[in-house]
Structure 1
C-alpha cells in the first residue's frame, strides 16, 4: 500500500473533513487543511499539532466558489509542503428546497455552485499538481444519493452528487492505469453538520465510526466505494431498482 504522506483536505472546519484530519494525523501524516471558517481550521490545526508531535499542519482560508483562490491555495500548500500526495475534495453544501418554491438564490443555486463548480475547480487544481508530479491520489466525496434523483429538499443536492460521481469516474477513466489514482466515495448517513438538519435515521452512524471506515477505504485507493459498506452497498442496488412511487415515499 502506498503511503500518502502529505494530504490536502478541503472543508476541514467540521464534520467529516475535521474527523478525517484527526484520523490521518494519528497515522503521522502531514496535513494541508482549508475551509471558509478559518478560525475553526486553525483551532483544529493547533489541537492536531499538540496531539501528534512531529507532523506538519498548514492551513488556509478557502471558499471553493472562489475558483481562482482554489488554484492559488492548492499551489501554496504544495510549495509549503514540497508536494501533495493526496487531495480529498470534501468541501460541500447541503442546502436545498423543492424546485419552483422560491429558493433558487438562497438554497439550490448555492448548493450547485459549491458542489458542482467548486468541486470542478478542486479537481482541476489537484490534477494540475498530480500531473506535474506524475503521482497523486484524488478522492472525491459523492454520496449514496448519487445513485438516483431525489425528491423534495434533496433534489438539487442529489443532482450535484451525481455530477461528483460522474466527474470522478471520468477523470479515472481518462488516466486508466497511470500514476494518478482516483477514488469516488459514496457515504451513506454519517453524523455531520449536514445530517444534523435532516430527520433522524436508524441507519446513521457516528462521525468517528463512519470516518474510520472512510479512511480505511481511502488508504486502499479503490475506484469507488460505499461507506459504511454495510448496509449501503446493498441499499444502493435497491435504490437503483426501486419504483418511483417507493422513492417518493421513503426519501
Structure 2
C-alpha cells in the first residue's frame, strides 16, 4: 500500500502520542516519531512494523526544550522521508503546583516544555511548510485551556491556552497551502494522568480518546473538542459559566 503521506509526532513514546502513531500507521501514513526515550520509540516502531510492514517509521531522540535540536531533527526527518506533510505538536508535561508554594521549578519546567517547546516545534514545522508550499500543523491543547484553572493546574492550563492561541494566530495569517488545527482533549487515560482515579467521570480509555483525536485531525478541523460527547457541550459551559462554578471542574 502506498503511503497517504508523512506525519511527524513529538512525545510519541507514550500516551496520546504513542497511540496516535499506531492509529495513523493503520490509516496508511509513514511516520516520523520523536521523544526523549528512544527505547520506547524503538519498541513502538517494532510493533508498528509487525502490524504494518509496508509503513516507514523514522525515529529521533528529541527534547523539545532544546531549541537547536528541534530545528535540526525536523530538518533531518524531512530529508529522510522526503517531506513532512503533517506535524503533531504533542510533547507535554503535567507537572505543577499552586503558585507561591515553593515549586517554581515544576511550573517553569511545564511552561518551558508545553509552551516554549511548542513554539519551537511550530517555528520548525512552519519553516518546512512554507518551503514546501503545503502542510498541516496540529497543536494538542487541553480542555483546561478554556478557562483559568486553580492550584496545580494553573500553569498547565495557561500553557495549553498559549498553544491554542498560537494555532489561532497562524490560522488568522492564512499561510497558503497550510492548515492549522488545535485539538482539545478531555479526560483521556494516559501516562500523564495515570495518578488520577480510574473512575473519574467522563474518562475514556486511550484508544477511544485518540480515535476521536485522529478523526478530527483527518478532517483538518480548525478546532476539535474530543471526544465530542460530552466535551463539546462542556466547552460551551466552561466559556460562559462564572469562575465560581468553573473552579469546581479543576
TM-score over 0.5 for the alignment? yes
Looking at structure 1, the residues matched to 248 and 212 of structure 2 have their Cα atoms a distance apart, in angstroms, of: 30
Deviations 1:207-248 (A, max 9, x none): 000111111110000111101011101001111122222223
Q: TM-score, normalised by structure 1?
A: 0.96
Q: Choose 193-202 or 27-36, whichever is displaced more.
A: 193-202
| Equivalence map 1:204-243=2 (5 Å) | 204-243=203-242
Provide runs of 4+ in structure 1 moved above 2 Å.
Answer: 197-200, 247-250
Looking at structure 2, the residues matched to 14 and 94 of structure 1 have their Cα atoms a distance apart, in angstroms, of: 13
Deviations 1:128-165 (A, max 9, x none): 00000000000000111111000011000000000000
Looking at structure 2, the residues matched to 13 and 74 of structure 1 have their Cα atoms a distance apart, in angstroms, of: 17
Question: Is residue 54 of structure 2 the alignment partner of residue 54 of structure 1?
Answer: yes
Gaps of 5+ in 2: none
Deviations 1:103-151 (A, max 9, x none): 001x100000001100000000000000000000000001111110000
Looking at structure 2, the residues matched to 123 and 4 of structure 1 have their Cα atoms a distance apart, in angstroms, of: 22
Deviations 1:51-83 (A, max 9, x none): 101110000000000010000000000000000
Looking at structure 1, the residues matched to 70 and 169 of structure 2 have their Cα atoms a distance apart, in angstroms, of: 21
What secondary structure is seen at the aligned counterpart in 2 of 1:185? strand
RMSD (Å) for aligned C-alpha atoms:
1.1
Looking at structure 2, the residues matched to 38 and 67 of structure 1 have their Cα atoms a distance apart, in angstroms, of: 19
Q: Number of residues paired by the alignment?
A: 247
Q: Is the contact between residue 4 and residue 85 of structure 1 (CA under 8 Å) also seen in structure 2?
A: no
Q: TM-score, normalised by structure 2?
A: 0.96
Deviations 1:177-218 (A, max 9, x none): x20000000110001011212344111111000111111110
Q: 1:194 aligned to 178, 192, 201, which one?
A: 192
